[in-house]
Amino acid sequence: MAIDRDDDAARREQDRDDTELMFLGVERQAEQVRAGKTTSRALVEAALRRIARSDPDLGAFRIVLADQALAEADARDAQESTGPLHGVPVAVKDELDVAGQVTTFGGAANRTPVSADSEAVRRLRAAGAVVIGKTAMPEFGQWPFTESAAYGRTLNPWDTTRTPGGSSGGSAAAVAAGMVPAALGGDGGGSIRIPAACCGLFGLKPQRGRVSTAPNPHLWYALGTVGPLTRTVRDSALLYDVLAGTTPTDRWSAGPGPAANGWVRALEAPPGRLRIGYSAKSAVPGVRPHPAHVEALLETVRALRELGHDVREVDPRYPDATAPFVAQFCGGVRAEAAAVQRPDLLERRTRTALALARLVPASAVERGIRAGERLAERADRMFTTMDLLLTPVIAERPRPAGALDGAGLLTAMVRSRPMVAYTALWNVTGHPAASVPAGVGADGLPLAVQLIGRRDDEVGVLRVAAQLEAVRPWAQHRPPLTAG
């Protein structure tokens, strides 16, 4: 029995060590590798143990690439440490290509592994990161809940009866639970910001065209962007230093970003006294925010005023983005369905969406894109009187898991409205927007607010988010499931 107790004590100590290592975050993990205090293999082994411990309860990963990740870690350890992400394990949402793996888009209709990494994954590896697995998503990323017929539900580490949001819910759950320090997601209607809000993470949707979608020319036409989910603002900036940039095959390219010194260095300059408008008003008529989200908004207003900003309530005249969003949604579903090998294996909801999407001609999709650009110009006028806009991220608290169970297309759309009511507009216009943690609610689930910036002003969003992080450091809050 003494041996059993000793083994149990050793396992608990290993769990604690793994937990602390994974919660160091991206920058500090890379620093420890560079300083020789740990190795890439040790980081990957700790991540794999965390995944083995936590993922059976969460379903964050569609596939774990244990052998490949260990081999990649050994290769990193045999190299001189140079990249900013050297040796750090990361996860990738299953709509992005990882060489040798099937890009499932969250469903069962794809069967053939891809031969090369997507450009975003290539950049991560070039910076020294180790890809440890691919994360779950709803089929084609259509829904703000991470549930699929092929792979089941992904659950929220803060409360495993609740959704982690979506569509990048697998990536969010993996980071929130301390299985990896960062994961790539995609945002076509809120799909980075919504799960970040549900899981207590920082998630910036960058300006359209900031990060390459290659080998694809676009992600849901003008709606989609690629970006990371992290626990801190600085880790997000570090990853954007790596990810930012496009290729000749990308249809969209953003305007100028930070100066040559990069995203992390840009955080070192204070933002100055900014004009920040705030509103609890939804961009979708009839959708009202939960009182806890209004209180989180007002608490953030108080914090920003104490930081010296000029913060005033505004009444935004949100343009109606329904038509351009629906046109591009249909175009995106049709484009991704055309890329799978077995369309007969698509979910019933997706087949219904695809049947409707086929009624929308390519010319209508292009008109939707042009209409979105006109809406962006109208949205720009909001920012003539303010530097940033502060709103809730989602209208309701995270729903119980199973939001899509038995739901047809119409029911799924109705259940999705409160989740996307504050986020989808900014995909249509392309503006940068971030989910910023704002504490934990009485129900034990995270709270968040959204910061929206002018076109191409991700740095303005990041700087104010970093100020908020400094006065209320959210990374100290960990889901109960992560206790070491």
What is the DSSP-derived secondary structure letter of residue 377? H
Q: Please list, in sequence order, all residues whose beta carbon lies within 8 angstroms of the beta carbon of residue 230, skipping any fewer than 6 positions away.
A: 25, 26, 175, 181, 182, 201, 202, 203, 236, 239
Rounded Cα gap, residues 375 and 75, in angstroms: 48
Do 399 and 415 meet the contact criterion of CB atoms below 8 Å apart? yes
Rounded Cα gap, residues 100 and 91, in angstroms: 15
Q: Which helix (H) or strand (E) holds 66?
A: helix 66-77
Question: What is the separation of C-alpha 407 from the centre of its chain, rounded to a whole number of angstroms?
Answer: 24
Rounded Cα gap, residues 480 and 54, in angstroms: 11
Among 90, 71, 69, 76, which residue's Cα sits nearest to residue 40? Answer: 76
Exposure pattern of 298-332 as b/e (b: 16+ CB <10 Å)?
eebbebbeebebebeebebebbebeebbbbbbbbb
Walk across the sheet containing 89-93 and list its strands: 61-64, 130-135, 89-93, 182-187, 225-230, 202-205, 433-440, 446-453, 388-392, 275-278, 310-313
Which residues are designated catalytic?
93, 167, 191
DSSP secondary structure, 239-277, as one string: HHHHHBB--TT-S------S-TT-HHHHTTS---S-EEE
Q: Is the peptide bond before 361 cis (omega within 30 degrees of 0)?
A: no
Cβ neighbours around 132 below 10 Å, total:
28
Rounded Cα gap, residues 201 and 404, in angstroms: 24
Question: What is the separation of C-alpha 170 from the centre of its chain, rounded to a whole number of angstroms?
Answer: 9
CA angle 342, 332, 363 (to 5 degrees): 115
Do 443 and 399 meet the contact criterion of CB atoms below 8 Å apart? no
Residue whose tokens read 């095959």: 249
Classify 184 as helix, strand or coil: strand
The backbone torsions φ and ψ at residue 389, rounded to the nearest 5 degrees and listed phi first, read -115, 135
